[in-house]
Structure 1
Amino acid sequence: MVVIAAAVYFSRGREVTPIRTATAERQNLLSTISTNGKVEPMEDFQAHAPGPVLVEKLMVSLGQHVAANQELMRLDTADVQSKVAQAQASVAQSENSLQNLQKGGSQEELLSSSSDLKTAQQQAASAQASLNTMQSLQAKGSVSPAEVASARQRLNDANTRVAVLQSRSTSRYSSSDISSQKAQVTQSRAALAAAQKAYSDFDIRAPFSGTVYSLPVSQYDFVQAGEALLDVADLSRLQVRAYFDEPEIGKLAVGQTVKIVWDAKLNRVWHGHISQAPTTVITYGTRNVGECLITVDDPSDDLLPNTNVTVTVTTSERKDVLSVPREALHTEGTTNYVFRILNNRLVRTNVQVGVVNLTRVEITGGLNEHDVIALGATTQVDLADGARVKVQ
C-alpha cells in the first residue's frame, strides 16, 4: 500500500501541467455597474389639443430650431371665439343689471316711476282741494257729511299711492336682490375668464427656445382633445433616467462618472455624471429598482429624447494599483490566495485583496509587481501547490 502511494506521488512529481499565466501589474482599476435608461430633456414642452380641433396651419417642421414665444401652429378658433363673445355679452348684461338695481331701476323704469309719482301727487293735490271745498260747503249746510267723508277717503287713497311710489323710487330693490345680482356678475366674469383661458390654449407657442423633436400631426388634420400636437426641447440639456437593481443602489453616489451608449449609434459614446441618486425603490416591470438621474455632459443633436440607452457608472476608480486577473484568485474560507510560478512549479501564496471588478482584483499584499501567476490549466487538471508546470 505504501509502495503504491509513493509511486503515485513520484509519478505526479514528474508530470508537467500546461497552464496559462498572467503577470501582476500596476494599472488603474475601475469598478462599474451597467443598466438601462431612457434619454429625456431637462426642459420639455409638449403641446396638446385643447379640444376637438382642426390644425389650420403648421408654422414649423420637424428638427427646426425655434425661438421663445414663436408661434408653432395655428388651430381653428372659430368655436372658442364665439364662446368668448357670448361670455363677454353675459358679463355686460349682468353688470348692467347690477347697476340698474343699485340705482333703483333702468332709465326707462326710473322715468316711468317719476311720471307715475308726479301724476299721483297731482291727484293728491286735487283730492285735497276737493276735500277743502266739501268742508266749506258742509259748514254752510250745502253738502252732507257722507259727501265730505267720501272726499276725505279719496285724499287718503291718493296720499297712500304717493307714499308707495316715493318708497319705490328710493328702495325699490332689497339688499338680497342686489347681493344675488352681484353673485351673478361674479359668475359671469368667471365664465369669461374660463373662455379666455380656453382661447389662449389654442395659441400654440414655444415657451422657450429649443428644437422641435416630435411632430405627429399634419396640416388640416382633425385631432381629438388631449392629443399630442408636437414636442419642443432644449437638446443641449439632456438627462438619462436610469434604473438600477436594488442590490446595486448602495454603490451609487452623486457625481460618479457615467458612460452612455445607444445601440443605434454604436460608434458614439456620450459621457455624464449622476445628478440624483436613487431615493426609493420602485417596481419596474419584474425588477425592484432605484431610479437615478444622470446629466449628459456632452449632449448633441444625434442623441434624441425618449431613446433607450445603456449606462455604465464608474462606482470606484483606483489609480496605479497592483492587480491580477480575477480568475487567478482562489478563496478558501476567509483566505484568498494565488499560485505563483517559481522554477516551473506552483507556489500557493496568500494575498490580501482590495477592490474587485468584473475582470480584475486589486492585490494589497502578498505579491510584487511582475510576479507571474497561474490562471488555470489547459487540461482537466486542478492546480496544486508544488505541481510542475509549463507555460502554454
Structure 2
Amino acid sequence: MRAGARGYDTGGLKKISAAVLILGGTAALIAWLLTRPAPPREVPFARAVRRQIVSTITTNGKLEPVEFTVVRGPRDGAVIRLLVERGARIAAGSAVAELDSAEARTELEAARARLAQILAEQAVFEQGGQRSALTQAANAIARVQVDLDHARRQAASLEKLVAARAEPAASLDEARQRVRALETDLEAARQQREALIPTGSRESWEARRKEAETAVEAARRRVETATLLAPVSGYVYNVAVRPGSFIRAGDPVVEIGRIHELRATVYVDEPELGRVAVGLPIRITWDGAPGREWRGTVEKRPTQIVPFQSRQVGEVMCRLPNEDGALLPGANVNVEIQTHVAADALVIPKAAVRRDSQGAGVLLLAGDRVEWRSVRLGASSVTDAEIAGGLREGDAVALPTEGPLSPGERVLPRFP
C-alpha cells in the first residue's frame, strides 16, 4: 500500500509539472507577442527630383465672341417667325426674324392715300381750281347778274309809274322782292365759286405734301423693318425670343458674333488674384471637345470682386484664337492660368506636402523611420510643388496613407 501510494504521487507531480511548463510557455509566448515591436507599415514614397514646373491657377470660365452684334427690335411688335436657330452660321443681310406687319401695312396704305389726295388738291391749287366747275360757277353768276340787272331796271321803272299813279304799289313791292331774291342768289353763286378755289399759299401746300411724304416713308420703313436682318456675318450664339413673343423697341432678338477669336471670362477666386497679371498664358479645355486644348493670354485684370455661385471671384478677361470655330460661344470651359514657370526646380508631389501649426513640411525617410522636415514652398501646379528650401534632390518623402503617419514611426518604404 505504501509503495502504491508513492507511485500515484509521482505520476501526479509529473502531470502538474507539465501543466506548469505549458502554462509558463503560453504566458511567455503571449508576453512576447504583446511586447514585440509592431512590423513596419508599408508606406508609399516619392523622391525629390529636378524638372520644370509650371505654377497654375485652375478654375473655370465662359466664352463669348470678341466681336459681336445684338440684333434688336426696331419697334414694338409680336415676333411671328424666327428664321435662325442657335448655332447657325449666317451671312450679312440674311433675315433672322419677322415681326407682325399687318398694322404697319394698313398705316402705309392710309398714308399713301392721304398723299395722293394732297397731290391732287395741290394740282388744283396750281391751276387756280377745277376748270369745268369754275366755268359752270362763273356762268351761273353771269346769269344771275343779268337777271338781277333786269329786275333792278324794272323796279326803277315801277317806282316812277307808282309815283305817277300809273301802276299800283303792289307791283313795285313784287319787283323789289324779285330784286332781293336775285341778290341772294348772286351771293350764293359767288360763294360756291370761292369754295372751288383752294386756299393757302404755295409754301403751305408744299409743307402739307412733305408731311404726307414723310408719313408714307415712315410707314414704309415700319413695313420693311418687320423683317430683321443680320448686319454682319457670323455665328448665332444666342436667340432671346420665341415665335409669338411681344417685344419692345430696343429689346434683343438675336446675338451674332464672329467666332474666329473668342473672349473668356475666367472666374478667379479672390485669394488667387494677386498671382494674375496681364499677358500671362492660359490653357483652355472643353468637355465638348475631349482631347483638345486652346492657348490664349490674360487681357485684363478684374476691377471688382463679385459673387459667383458660392464663391467670391474676380472676372479675369482673356483672349484666345478659334480659327476653326470648334469652340462655341456660351460654352463653359476649364481654364489654367500659368502664373510662373521654373525651369530647373526641385519638385515633389503636391500630395506629399503636409501642414502643422508652424507651416509646411514633409515626412522625410530617415533609415527605416520618418521624420518631420519643414520646407519652403515655391511654385505649384495641379499635381506638383516646388521645394525652395528644406530638401535635397533624391530625398524620399511620404505620400498620403489610409491612416495617420507620425514622425518617428518605422515604415517599410514603397516606391512607385
TM range (shorter): 0.5 to 0.7
Pick one of 300, 319, 340 that aligns with 1:317: 340
Amino acid at match of 1:132: A
Aligned with 1:35 (options 42, 47, 60): 60
Distance 1:322 1:164 in 2: 117
Contact 1:258–1:311 under 8 Å retained in 2: no
Cα deviation, residue 20, structure 1: 0.4
In structure 2, the partner of 1:300 is 324
After superposition, the C-alpha distances for 1:179-210 in whole angstroms (9 at most, x for unaligned) are 9xx999968954663344324645x8653344
Q: Would you say the 8 A contact 1:41–1:238 is kept in 2?
A: yes
Q: Does 1:267 align with 2:291?
A: yes
Structural mapping, 1:29-68, within 5 Å: 29-35=54-60, 37=62, 42-43=67-68, 66=91, 68=92
Of the three residues 154, 160, 164, the one matched with 1:130 is 154
Q: Is the 8 A contact 1:24 1:368 kept in 2?
A: no
Displacement of 1:338: 2.5
Unaligned stretches of 5+ in structure 2? 1-31, 247-252
Asked if structure 1 preserves the Cα contact closer than 8 Å seen for 2:41 and 2:412, the reply is: yes
Name the structure 2 match of 1:375. Answer: 398
Aligned equivalents of 1:173 and 1:235: distance in 2?
Answer: 63
| Aligned counterpart, 2:109 | 86
Report the Cα offset of residue 118 of structure 1.
Answer: 3.8
Distance 1:248 1:155 in 2: 110
Change (3 A) 1:261 1:114: farther
Q: Assess if the C-alpha contact under 8 Å between 1:18 and 1:391 holds in 2.
A: yes
* Aligned residue type for 2:374: N
Q: Residues 196 and 21 of structure 1: is their aligned pair in 2 closer, same or farther, counting only changes over 3 Å?
A: closer
- CA gap of 1:37–1:21, structure 2 versus 1, over 3 A, is same
Q: Distance in 1 between matches of 2:125 and 2:328?
A: 63
Q: What whole-Å deviation, never above 9, does each CA across 1:280-336 have from its counterpart, x for those lacking one?
A: 75777x999887765332331433456x44231416335446554322222223533
- Give secondary structure in 2 for the equivalent of 1:316: strand
Q: Which has the larger radius of gyration?
A: 2
Identity of aligned residues (%): 18
- Map of 1:197 onto structure 2: 222
User: Is the contact between residue 297 and residue 319 of structure 2 (CA under 8 Å) also seen in structure 1?
Assistant: yes
Q: Secondary structure at the match of 1:194?
A: helix
Amino acid of the structure 2 residue aligned with 1:269:
E
> Is the Cα contact below 8 Å between 1:39 and 1:309 reproduced in 2?
no
Quick one: which of 190, 202, 208 aligns to 2:232?
A: 208
SS of alignment partner, residue 383 of structure 1:
coil
Q: Closer, same or farther in 2 for the Cα pair 1:94/1:288, shift >3 Å?
A: farther
Distance 2:58 2:400 in 1: 30
Q: What's 1:3 paired with?
A: none
Q: Does 1:21 align with 2:72?
A: no
Residue identity in the other structure for 1:332: D
- Report how far residue 349 of structure 1 moved: 2.9
User: How far is 1:156 from its partner?
Assistant: 3.9
What's 2:363 paired with?
339
Show the counterpart of 2:354: 330
Distance 1:358 1:14 in 2: 35
- TM-score using structure 2 length: 0.59
C-alpha contact 1:50 1:226 (8 A) present in aligned 2: yes
Native 8 Å contact 1:95 1:185 kept in 2: no
Does the 8 Å CA contact 2:141/2:190 hold for their aligned counterparts? yes
CA distance in 2, matches of 1:283, 1:137: 116
Residue 265 of structure 1: how far off its partner (Å) = 2.9
After TM superposition, the score normalised by the length of structure 1 is 0.61
- How many aligned residue pairs are there? 355
Contact residue 91 and residue 185 of structure 1 kept, 8 A: no
| CA distance 1:379–1:213, shift in 2 (3 Å) | closer
CA contact (8 A) 1:346 1:387 kept: yes
RMSD: 5.6
Shift of 1:224: 6.2
The letter for the 2-side match of 1:376 is L
The whole-number CA distance in structure 2 between the counterparts of 1:107 and 1:241 is 76
Closer/same/farther in 2, CA of residues 230 and 346 from structure 1, 3 Å limit: closer
